[in-house]
Amino acid sequence: MQDIQLIQLNDQLTSQATEMDDITQKFTDLTILNESYKSQIESMTSNQLKELEQLRENYTKLEESYRKIDSQLYVEKEKVKRIESERNEMRQQLASNADLLVSEFTRGSDLRNSMRSISSDGTNVDSSNTDSQTQCKEKKKN
């Protein structure tokens, strides 16, 4: 009976040892798989970190470009303001000159009209005698 029990115990131990070997093999397989996944994750993480660093560099470059463009835009806006100011000053000067020209023209017309009506000897001047050469000739005669 002891032999039977020993055989049964031996069978149980053999069965348990086989189960333990299976479990150990599965554990080893899982460990290998885990290491493989870990390596892949580290590789992916490393690649992602490299990509992230590249993105940061690109962002920094874009930010610098934006600052330069913004600065240039500010300079150009200031130039436009200065040019518009100069243009407005020129318009005002032109309007002032036009007013002066109209005033001088009116004064000249008034003077011509008054010279037409009175000659140097007090007689009415003919409209054909209004040009300056004729007036000079008349003055020389007097």
Which alpha helices (DSSP H) does the chain contain, by range?
Answer: 2-117, 132-141
List, in order, residues 6 or more apart from 128 with CB less than 8 Å away: 134
Q: How confident is the model at residue 136 (pLDDT cuts 50, 70, 90)?
A: low
What distance in Å separates the CA atoms of residue 18 and residue 14, rounded to the nearest whole number?
6
Q: How many domains does the chain have?
A: 1
The model's pTM:
0.43
Please indicate, yes or no, if residue 45 is contained in any of the structural domains. yes
The 10s digit of each residue's pLDDT in 64-108 is 999 999 999 999 999 999 999 999 999 999 999 999 999 888 888
What distance in Å separates the CA atoms of residue 42 and residue 15, rounded to the nearest whole number?
40
Report the pLDDT value the prediction gives residue 105, as an integer from 0 to 100: 86
- Residues 36-45 have a mean pLDDT of 90
Domain of residue 20, residue span: 13-112
Q: How confident is the model at residue 53 (pLDDT cuts 50, 70, 90)?
A: very high
- Residues 37-53 have a mean pLDDT of 91
Please indicate, yes or no, if residue 142 is contained in any of the structural domains. no
Please indicate, yes or no, if residue 75 is contained in any of the structural domains. yes
pLDDT at 112 over 70: yes
Alpha carbon separation from 79 to 26, 46, 63, 74, 102 (Å, rounded): 77, 49, 24, 9, 34
Please indicate, yes or no, if residue 117 is contained in any of the structural domains. no
Judge whether 119 and 138 are in contact, CB under 8 Å.
yes
| More confident call, 55 vs 114 | 55
Report the pLDDT value the prediction gives residue 72, as an integer from 0 to 100: 97
